[in-house]
Structure 1
Amino acid sequence: MGGGQSHDNWEDDDNGVCKPCFLFKAPMSRSKRSDPMGTPMPETPIVDRRKRDAAAAKIQESKKTDPVFSSQYFGIEKEVDPKNPKNSAKNNPSGRAIVHEGQDAEQQMQAKYQMMEVLGVGSTSTCHRCVDKRSNLHYACKIIDKKVIEDRFQGMMDQFHTEIDALRSLDHPAIIQLLDVYITQQKIFIIMELMEGGELFDYVVQKGTLTEDEASSIVRKVTGALVYMHEKNIVHRDLKPENLLLRRIPRNAGDSVEVKIIDFGLSKLMQEPVARSFLGTRGYLAPEMLQRRDYTKAVDTWALGVIVFVLLCGCLPFDDDSQTVPSDDLVRTKFVLRFPRWAKNLSASAKDLLSKLLNVNPGERYSAEQALAHPWVTGKAAPKGNLLASPGRIRASPNVRAKQNRSTPNRNGRHGATGSGKYIPPNRSPAAGGATTKRVMVRKTSI
């Protein structure tokens, strides 16, 4: 969830943070009572039977809305705490994660979860593996030291609360799931799904091959999640490859890639048609945001277009290294969609999708709904077996590069970096790795 990122020049969003919007689930439908064929007639009169059935149905209906009896808990234990109603399920209309606040919040967390090894340490948090003591299921626990954040990162606490509020309102298979939040005076403990598969693009690099139909399947899941978010008026504003993780590495060739969107720290509940704050990650910022203009949810579909371009071509579509506000003329000349020579076999349908997503005019740019209905995204126009060149050109994350450099012999027969000092993916020859281009897939922090 972006715990390891540094957010320089980060701005608070319009003097506010993303407020919670909760997902109200429709009540479960009751099946009609009916006697199987051949059963004897009831002994009670029909009028009495109808009254009895109506009373029983009323009790069952009350159980569905009562937090004590409700079964719509997504596997999370939620009991009413009479001493602290703030932590009860009545105050959790989304039916999902509960925010536990108070001096005993850490004790509540320790009673439910067993902390395990450290998974990662970032500039703002430490992430542990944790185990639910009842179910023995493994999750990730991000621990934030509030004093460190307040001393070192002005405004960062608002970002964590924004992320918590956004995730509490979302329930989609392609969005990371939040389970519990425990807040004390000193720390915040955020319990989430354990994403054991790493970054999507690292998986693509290590897999070594990717076909258009495989890429289409991945894009379809991410786009579906984006449609769901936008229907709830939530804009992510920091979509990038680093924020697409895998639940687990697929073991077999036919296994589906379970990709999820993470890091909602810069998200916003759009209570107005437009937003104004300048934030996100360079390389994935829409032109209207770079120009410091009012923008809509269309900034997410621009970022989606950049991600799809990198997934298919292995590099960024544009050279976004300008530190100044671009003029309209510069936008028209700078953001001209061109495909690299190694992507010459890319299908016309894929190129058409990219031209619709990477349209500099936000009014003409594809919405998430339009993208999801595009023939390439649905899979109807994505050629099967058409191998892409992107796995050999996408740069792996620093952790993966370090691991490869330690384990892969170089041209001199030694383990470590190649003779040129550059990391060369295992599916690319040293000769091919020598040439570089400005349009590379670089990893940058949010601004």
Structure 2
Amino acid sequence: MPDLNTTSGKKTMNANLHWLNQKRLIFYSRISLALFLVIGSGFVLTPDGLPICRDFITFWTASHLALTGHAQDAYNISLLLKAEQADVPLSQIPLPWFYPPPFYLVVLPLALLPFLAAYWTFTLSTLGGYFLVLRRIVRGKTAMWCLAGFSGLWINLFHGHNAFLTAALAGAALLSVERRPVLAGVFIGLLAIKPHLAILFPVVLLAIGAWRTLITAVVTVIIFMAIGTVTLGTGVLTGFIANLGYARLYVETGLLPWVKTPTVFAFLRLLGMPVAWAYVVHFVVAAGAVIVVWHVWRRSQNRNLRSAALMTATFLVSPYVFDYDLAWLAFPIAWLALDSLRNGWLRGEREVLVAAWLLPLVMVFIAASLNVQIGSFVLCSLLWIIYRRATTTSMMGAVVIDDHADQYEIP
């Protein structure tokens, strides 16, 4: 197993000269962790008992509707809000249900438990999967402190959302695609629970000719969708399809807040650009991101950089992503940091990684204060340094792949 403590003396000396050294990383991570613990305690101790897991209300209510034979009602905003207020009286804002039948299967058992017990069961189990997949990539004291203080982790935890699950599935698929192509296809297929986050997987599988993985993914999606439809009734499938238009409307009008949406589309809408032009510019940037990912997967054999490019570019392609989804960024940050520690840092990389690490926390405050959504700028910067490193190592003939282990030690 490679140990990053064995890097050359010159690289170690240069790393120590940089302002972002190991001691500061741990210190900043501890400060961030303390901040989120205080925030979490404040939510828990509020006099009205308002749960911090507000988005989880929708998951639990949809489960309750399905268990009582009204699964299709979750796709009706008014019926869903009525059920949410009956199940969790403090819920006042309608939280829509835009999910396909496969995700319904995931949340189906939740209402068998009381609300808070269901929240902790769902959150801790998906967090466990998230952590286990990350441990296949990186470990060590510094890495664990960085993860513990990572704002993307805490924001998803506070929301009670599904980013731990989707990130774990995407990360597991990327770790498996070379050695276990069928298993990778299953993981990709399971991302049908949130299909817009799986949009780049067909691109990269075609780029490397991974036909077994692609076919397995398609078959898994079909089976998963069929099981959900048969179990819950055809009404859930028709409801999901009908609600796609409402999801688009929510994104276009800001009913799903642009300050929490780290996309090019949200940046332009906050500036007042018309919807059509915002889509055009977003599409141009998305097309560029797809080309970058295709190029990295075609030209580079570096598994770390390939995986980091896909998970980063996902947020530049779909206009429907939110701050809790940025829990995904722990993976590209880890992959890029590992590659940089093994092969030397390039100019500006550490600063971009810090910006990506802070992004889920600071972007909402900046957007609310300045009316500028910085998410897309940070994500474009992250994708650029990944592409630069991939093309640089490709030109030098470097191949940074370890065929015997996925785990690396950061001191």
With normalisation by structure 2, the TM-score equals 0.28
Higher Cα Rg, which structure:
1
Relative to its length, the structure with more strand (as a share) is: 1
Q: Which has the higher contact order (CA 8 A, sep 6+)?
A: 2
Normalised to the residue count of structure 1, the TM-score between the two structures is: 0.27
Higher helix share: 2
